[in-house]
Amino acid sequence: MVGKRSSRDIRSESRLDVLHGLLSAGTSTRNELAQTTGLSVATVATIVQELRGEGLVVDAGSSALGAGRPTTMLRVNGERGRILGIDVAETYVRAIVFDASLEEVGSVEVPMDESLPSASSVTESIVRAVDTALRETAIDRERVLGAGIALPGLVSAEESADAVAPRWAARNVEVLRQLRQRIGLPLVVENPLKAIATAELWFGRGRTASSMVIANLGTGVGAGIVLEGKILRGATHSAGEWGHAVLVLDGRACRCGRRGCVEAYVGAPGIQLTLREIAPEHELADAAQRDFIEGLASAHRKSGGDPVIEEVLSRTAHYLGVALGDLAAIIDPEVLMLTGWTAWALGDDLVEPTKQELQRRAPVGATTPIDLGVSTVRGSSVAIGMATLAFERFLGDVGLSTTRLPLAL
Q: Taking CB under 8 A as the criterion, which residues in 345-364 touch its own copies? A: 361-364
Element (H, E) at 222: strand 221-227
Spatial contact of 354 and 361, defined as CB atoms under 8 Å apart = no
Number of neighbours of residue 301 by Cβ within 10 angstroms: 11
Closest distance of CB 141 from its own copies, Å: 36
**Nearest in space to 309 (alpha carbons), one of 338, 341, 334, 274:** 274
Q: Which of 63, 137, 326, 403 binds its own copies (CB under 8 A)?
A: 326
Closest distance of CB 313 from its own copies, Å: 17
Report DSSP state, residue 72: E
368 binds, among its own copies, Zn ion, none (CB under 5 to 8 A by kind): its own copies
CA distances from 161 to 171, 179, 202 (A): 9, 19, 29
Stretch in the footprint of its own copies (CB under 8 A) among 243-251, 291-299, 342-350, 400-408 = 243-251
254 binds, among Zn ion, its own copies, none (CB under 5 to 8 A by kind): Zn ion
Binding of its own copies at residue 253 (CB under 8 A)? no
Binding of its own copies at residue 257 (CB under 8 A)? yes
Binding of its own copies at residue 106 (CB under 8 A)? no
Cα separation, 78 vs 105, in Å, equals 10
Cα separation, 152 vs 40, in Å, equals 41
Binding of Zn ion at residue 256 (CB under 5 A)? yes
Number of neighbours of residue 231 by Cβ within 10 angstroms: 24
Backbone phi, psi, residue 97, to 5°: -100, 130
DSSP bridge partners of 215: 223, 338
- Give the 3-state secondary structure of residue 89: coil
Report helix angle 166-182 to 119-136, nearest 10: 50
Binding of Zn ion at residue 244 (CB under 5 A)? yes
Q: Which of 58, 173, 248, 279 binds its own copies (CB under 8 A)?
A: 248
Binding of its own copies at residue 200 (CB under 8 A)? no
Cα separation, 83 vs 394, in Å, equals 9
Closest distance of CB 299 from Zn ion, Å: 28
240 binds, among Zn ion, its own copies, none (CB under 5 to 8 A by kind): its own copies
CB closer to its own copies, 264 vs 309? 264
185 binds, among its own copies, Zn ion, none (CB under 5 to 8 A by kind): none
Q: Which of 134, 147, 187, 261 binds Zn ion (CB under 5 A)?
A: 261
Cα separation, 22 vs 51, in Å, equals 11
Q: Which of 169, 231, 312, 407 binds its own copies (CB under 8 A)?
A: 169
40 to 69: interface string for its own copies, x by CB under 8 A: ------------------------------
Closest distance of CB 326 from its own copies, Å: 4
Q: What is the dihedral angle through the alpha carbons of 147, 150, 155, 160, rounded to the nearest 10 degrees?
A: -70
Closest distance of CB 1 from Zn ion, Å: 35
Binding site for Zn ion (CB under 5 A): 244, 254, 256, 258, 261
